[in-house]
Structures are given as structure tokens and as C-alpha cells.
Amino acid sequence: MNVRKIITLVEDTLTEGGRAVDPAARVAVVAAVIENPWHGQGFVEDLAPGIDATASDLGKLLAPRVVEALGAPVEAYGKAAIVGLDGEVEHGSALIHTLKFGDHFRIAAEATTLLPAVEKRAAAGTVFDIPLKHKTDATIRSHHQSIEVRLADAPHPGEIVIALAAAAQGRPQQRLASLSTEQ
């Protein structure tokens, strides 16, 4: 795995809807900009060797960093793969949609649900939203949220941005009724 850079973003929302948020609502993102392991190889039928060589190491690298950046117990989480223009969306999906990657975050966050994800092919500087859901119950509406991310110089055409996001709470000032009220 060839990592060009790691970016850490922490967002604290202090007011929402004209009211104070106390404690502040914190979301953290850690993104690694890596060389696409399939770059320059043409169409690769079997992605398994690249997954085996990269996915687990990425999970080990990013999961503890995002939990540390959050600085609080994780309540909601998500992931992203943004593939540079010379790659395929499948390259990003191959790295993040495997237990070899995701289980590192699940263990670090003490989570049990599937990680919500976004993946797409895009030029450097594209904006992408990482969806987040509750770490043990994806039906808890208060934790359905997203965080917008933009990396000015990534991904280059032969790179992939792999990112994890964690929130210490649900949406600030959330007030939707429980899903069970509609069932």
C-alpha cells in the first residue's frame, strides 16, 4: 500500500437552529490518499489479490485514527471510497466493502451494524458526503446524518481516497419520532 497523505478533519457544531448545542456535536473524518492498487493494469478480472494486499492494512491505519480524532465514544459511523479518474468505482468498492477493512472500524467503535458508504469516481477536489448511521441499530433516526468532505488535491487519476467518519452523537437538535411510531 502506497499512502501519499492522511487528512484528519474534526467538526464541532456549536449552534443549530438558532440554539446552542451542548455539548457540541462532534464528527471526525480521517482519509488516506493511496495509490490505486490496480492502476495501469487495464481491466483486472480478479480483484482479490489487491484486496488482500491493501484492505486490512487500510482498516488498521484509519480506524484507530478516526476514533482518536473524535475524542469520545463513537455512536455513528460511515465510510467512503473516491476513485481517481483512471480507476473504476469497483476499485474503491473492493477496498471498503470487505470485512478485512470494515471489521477494524467495527471493533474500534464497538459496533455491530453495516457501515453506510459512498463510492464514486471523481477528479481531485470533488465534494463527497459520507453517510453515517448508528453503530448498533441502523433504524435509529437521530443518527442518520452525513458529513461533507473535499480534499483539494485528491484523488489524482491513479489514486483512491479512502475515508472513515465517526460521530459522538446523532444530529444536533434532532427531534424526529422513533421509527417504531410509524410501524
Q: What's the confidence (pLDDT) of residue 180?
A: 66
- Of 138 and 116, more confident: 116
- Cβ neighbours, 10 Å, residue 141: 17
Using pLDDT thresholds of 50, 70 and 90, give the confidence band for residue 176: confident
What are the residue boundaries of the structural domains of the chain, listed by start? 3-182
Q: What's the confidence (pLDDT) of residue 163?
A: 98
**Quick check: 115 and 95 in contact, CB under 8 A?**
no
Q: Is 129 helix (H, G, I), strand (E, B) or coil?
A: strand
Could you give the CA distance from residue 1 to residue 99 in angstroms, rounded to a whole number? 18
**Quick check: 9 and 70 in contact, CB under 8 A?**
no
**Mean pLDDT confidence for 48-59:** 98
At residue 90, does pLDDT exceed 80?
yes
At residue 19, does pLDDT exceed 80?
yes
At residue 171, does pLDDT exceed 70?
yes
**Angstrom distances, CA of residue 39 to CA of 12, 52, 144, 156, 170:** 37, 16, 34, 11, 38
**Quick check: 123 and 79 in contact, CB under 8 A?**
no
**Mean pLDDT confidence for 135-150:** 94
Could you give the CA distance from residue 81 to residue 98 in angstroms, rounded to a whole number? 13
Q: Is 3-182 a CATH 3.40.50.150 domain? A: no
Question: What is the average pLDDT score of the chain?
Answer: 96
